[in-house]
Chain A
Amino acid sequence: MIRVETLSKQYKGVDVLNRINWRVEDGAFVIVTGRSGGGKTTLLSIVGGLTRPGEGKVFIDDADIWQLPEPELATLRNRKLGFVFQFPSLIPTLHVLDNVLLPIAFSGRNPNVEDREFAGSLLEMVGVTGKDDYSPSQLSGGQQRRVAIARAMINRPSIMLADEPTGDLDEKTEEEIMRLFQRINGQGTTVIMVTHALGYVKSGLAYTLKNSRLMPYEESEVASGSCAGEGEL
């Protein structure tokens, strides 16, 4: 479970996130939407242990992640979290399979046969087969995003954080990627996705970030820009 308490963050004196309280249950599929520059990515990166909050706390399975020593936080990112970013994030010097296996190398061990088999099955799941030794530049944008999803899954994380994973993809590929996330969620992985694709808000619990506050998507529509109440759910 993820619990966020009175989370605030400022950039250059401007509130990006303001006293956000939030709870995401295990196995949930959560969509966060909002205007560009509204703080969605910042929220995701604070929850994912990538950016330190200005104030407030983030608990993952009851551990206050921003109180953890850096090596333990790195371990948490490695073992419990999987990230998919809005930009191509494969390492250009590594082949597809090596890209997928990379988080294992960061866990302090060398990938073994089982890891390779699992990586192969993940690549099969995301629909990129027979391209293990391809360089990322030989893949299409959609294929690269799928490989990034496979990589995020390699350590069997309990939480997947996706930041606009379909932002630069065509409609058909976007649908395929969204189905993929739903499938991952179906396997019990909590998915938190930041997206502009409003067509998918009904896929799960939807929230919107407006005026530095997080609120349920429908409520925000009703509120139409008002800042009534905190985004506590």
Chain B
Amino acid sequence: MRQIFYLVRQNLKRKPFRTWLMIGGIFLACATLFTAAILSKGIQYTLQTAGERLGADIVAVPADAREEALSALISGSPSTFYMPLSLEEKVRKTRGVQQTCAQVYLRSLDAACCVVQVALVGFDPERDFTINPWVLQKTAEPLQNNQLIVGAKVISAVVGTPAKAIGQRLMFMGKPFTVATILEPTGLGTDYTVFLTMDMAYRMTEESPLYPVPVKRDQISTILVKVDAGTDPALVAQSIEQNIPELKAVTANQLTRSFSRQLQNLVDALFVAGGIFSLLALILAGNLFALSVRQRMRELGLFRAMGAGRSLVFKLIVLEAVCIAGIGGFFGILAGFAAVYFGKDIITDMIGNLYMWPDTGYFLQTALTGMAASLLAGILGGLYPACRISGCEPYEAIRRGE
């Protein structure tokens, strides 16, 4: 078998340009399809897990500040939008709503502690169901006014491992706080958010020169909603909007979808490009390979004359096709992986930190599927010329190759 591989290798080196052209076609097809498959799966994951990550099925925000509010939720961008607290009660009474909790957003600010601008959000620790599930080290004690819960990326860059942040003292708007605990990474705006009690949030606006007009205690920014089990969040969101015109209610899936639409367009384009490249690769590599075999008919006839059996010649041709397809597939997948890995920043720019990468298992599975598909294409591409040549009598092959 070593000799057979040697013959294959030598033959591939015979016309390097043609060989690389065939490999290149398969490479392009594999690279684009691999990238598209990974991104597409990522979008699917992102949509699936959005609700779980958000902790709420629906987010109700002031109707006139919808985009700003959604941007704050997704990326923690600076936002100050408010609505009357009384709306929460109305939402709670909507059919299908199981639980609500309100949050108040303060002006985002550059803090001495942190490498990024952080958002300050007040919440009610007793009623909250969106933050507590993400707390890294849970404590029995409710959050005190002089304590903070910080997002995973807020100070981790400064202190190294996030766990080291616990117990650290931080100053915000001239007030000292202790970090009570930190949140696990969510990929949402919470990663860049500092949470404090609602009471403390109002007090800070009352006492800080940053807020000439303090946020009133009957004002809130968002209402997070959990719906009854088995209830469709989209229907509940619709009822909220119908009953309370001052609100826009967005389901977790809608929230994610709006941000992933741009990426989906890219993925669609990649799939189309991958499909075109695959077709071109099949035509190009298939024709070039058939031509290459035709040009070597005499040589393959000579192999038979020297004692190579039909099956050996058959294997030789198929192995050659498989090698071309395998090399193209392997490097295509590597290139696809590199594109995905180094393109992370572009994707993050498109939809913020929300995008969720498929797990390693899916990467491996896609890579293996891509390899298997390439090899299969090689086998299929090699079959026809292999059957044709190996079916010839040796002398006939020699004569036709002259």
Name B395's contact: one of A50, A78, A91, A151 (CB within 8 Å). A50
B13 an interface residue at 8 Å Cβ cutoff? yes
Q: B312 interface residue, CB < 8 Å from A? A: yes
B306 and A50 form a contact (CB under 8 A): no
Give complex CA distance A38, B264 in Å: 71
Please determine whether A74 and B398 come into contact, CB atoms closer than 8 angstroms: no
Chain A residues, Cβ within 8 Å of B398: 50, 85
Q: Is A200 an interface residue (CB 8 A)?
A: no
B157 interface hit (Cβ, 8 Å):
no
CA of A79 to CA of B13 in the docked complex: distance in angstroms? 30
CB of B14 within 8 A of CB of A93, answer: yes
Q: Which chain B residues lie closer than 8 Å to A83 at the CB level?
A: 305-306
A77 near B307: Cβ-Cβ < 8 Å: yes
The reply to whether the CB of A225 lies closer than 8 angstroms to some CB of chain B is no
- Select A93's contact among B2, B11, B302, B307, beta carbons within 8 Å: B11
Q: How far is the CB of A84 from chain B (nearest CB, A)?
A: 10
Interface pair B395/A45, CB less than 8 Å apart: yes
A155 to chain B, nearest CB (A): 8
A98 to B388, CA, bound (A): 27
Shortest distance from the beta carbon of B107 to any chain A beta carbon, whole Å: 73
Counting CB contacts under 8 A, is B126 at the interface?
no
Tell yes or no: A106 within 8 A of B by CB.
yes
Please tell me if the beta carbons of B308 and A74 are within 8 angstroms of each other in the complex: yes
Question: Does A110 belong to the interface (CB within 8 Å)?
Answer: yes
Docked Cα-Cα span, A167 to B298, in Å, equals 18
Residues of A within 8 A of B243 (CB): none
Selected contact of A106 from candidates B6, B14, B306, CB within 8 Å: B306
For the complex formed, measure the closest distance between the CB of B305 and the CB atoms of chain A, giving whole angstroms: 5
Instruction: Please determine whether B304 and A91 come into contact, CB atoms closer than 8 angstroms.
Output: no
Q: Does B365 contact A (CB under 8 A)?
A: no
Judge whether B3 is part of the interface by a CB distance below 8 angstroms.
yes
When distances are taken between beta carbons in the complex, the residues of chain A under 8 Å from B11 are 93
In this complex, what residue of A is CB-closest to B15? A93
Q: A93-B13, A93-B14, A105-B7 are in contact. Are A51 and B307 (CB under 8 A)?
A: no
- Among residues of A, the one whose C-beta sits closest to the C-beta of B14 is A93
B310 nearest in chain A by CB position: A70
B396 at the interface (CB under 8 A from A): yes
Q: Is B129 an interface residue (CB 8 A)?
A: no
Are A89 and B302 interface neighbours, CB within 8 A? yes
Range, interface on chain A: 20 to 34
B307/A106 in contact, CB under 8 A: yes
Enumerate chain A residues within 8 angstroms of B7, measured Cβ to Cβ.
93-94, 105
Q: Mark B285-323, 1 if CB is under 8 A from A, else 0.
A: 000000000000011011111111111100000000000
Query: In the complex, A25 Cα to B321 Cα: how many Å?
Result: 45
For B312, the chain A residues whose CB sits under 8 A away are 74, 106
Cα distance A45–B2 when bound, in Å? Answer: 30
Q: Chain B residues near A77 (CB, 8 Å)? A: 304-307, 394
Given A87-B402, A106-B312, A92:B306 Cβ within 8 A: no
Count of inter-chain pairs, beta carbons less than 8 A: 78
Map CB proximity to A onto B1-39 as digits: 1 under 8 Å, 0 otherwise. 011101100110110000000000000000000000000
Bound CA–CA A110/B6 (angstroms): 11
Residues of B within 8 A of A107 (CB): 307
State whether B305 touches A50 (Cβ < 8 A).
Answer: yes
Known: A51-B396, A71-B311. A110 touches B306 (CB 8 A): no
| Contact (Cβ within 8 A) A91 B302 | yes
Contacts of B10 in A (CB 8 A): 93-94
A114 to chain B, nearest CB (A): 16
**Do B395 and A103 touch (CB < 8 A)?**
no
Interface residue B110 (Cβ < 8 Å from any Cβ of A) = no
Whether A106 contacts B302 by the Cβ 8 Å rule is: no
Contacts of B396 in A (CB 8 A): 51
Complex-state Cα separation, A51 to B394, whole angstroms: 7
A50 touches B394 (CB 8 A): yes
The answer to whether B393 has its CB under 8 Å from any CB of chain A is yes
| Residue in chain B with minimal CB distance to A72 | B309
Q: How far is the CA of A106 from the CA of B395 in the complex (A)?
A: 17
B2: chain A residues at CB < 8 Å are 110
Residues from chain B with a CB closer than 8 A to the CB of A70 are 309-310
Contact B4 A105 (CB under 8 A): yes
Closest residue of chain B to A82 (Cβ to Cβ) is: B306
Measured between beta carbons, the chain A residues less than 8 angstroms from B298 are 87
A3 contacts partner chain B, Cβ-Cβ < 8 Å? no
CA distance A74 to B309 in the complex (A): 5
Taking a contact as CB atoms under 8 Å apart, the answer to whether B402 and A74 are in contact is no
- A231 interface residue (CB < 8 Å to B): no
Report B230 CB to chain A, min CB distance, Å: 68
With A70-B310, A93-B10, A93-B13: A51-B393 Cβ-Cβ less than 8 Å: yes
Residue in A closest to B4 when the chains form the complex, CB atoms: A105
Q: When chains A and B are docked, how far (Å) is the Cα of A87 from the Cα of B402?
A: 9
A75 within 8 A of B: yes
Residue A142, interface by CB 8 Å:
no
Contact: B14 with A74, CB < 8 Å? no
Q: Determine how close the nearest CB of chain B comes to the CB of A200; give it in whole angstroms.
A: 23
What are some 10 contacts across the A-B interface (CB < 8 A)?
Answer: A50-B395, A50-B398, A77-B304, A79-B307, A92-B14, A98-B6, A102-B303, A106-B303, A106-B309, A151-B306
B residues contacting A by CB (< 8 A) are 2-4, 6-7, 10-11, 13-14, 298-299, 301-312, 393-396, 398, 402
Q: Which 10 A-B pairs have the closest CB atoms?
A: A78-B307, A105-B3, A50-B395, A74-B309, A93-B10, A45-B395, A51-B395, A50-B394, A106-B308, A106-B307
Additional A-B contacts beyond A74-B312, A78-B307 (12; CB < 8 A): A45-B395, A50-B398, A51-B396, A71-B309, A71-B311, A77-B305, A77-B306, A78-B308, A85-B398, A94-B7, A106-B303, A155-B307
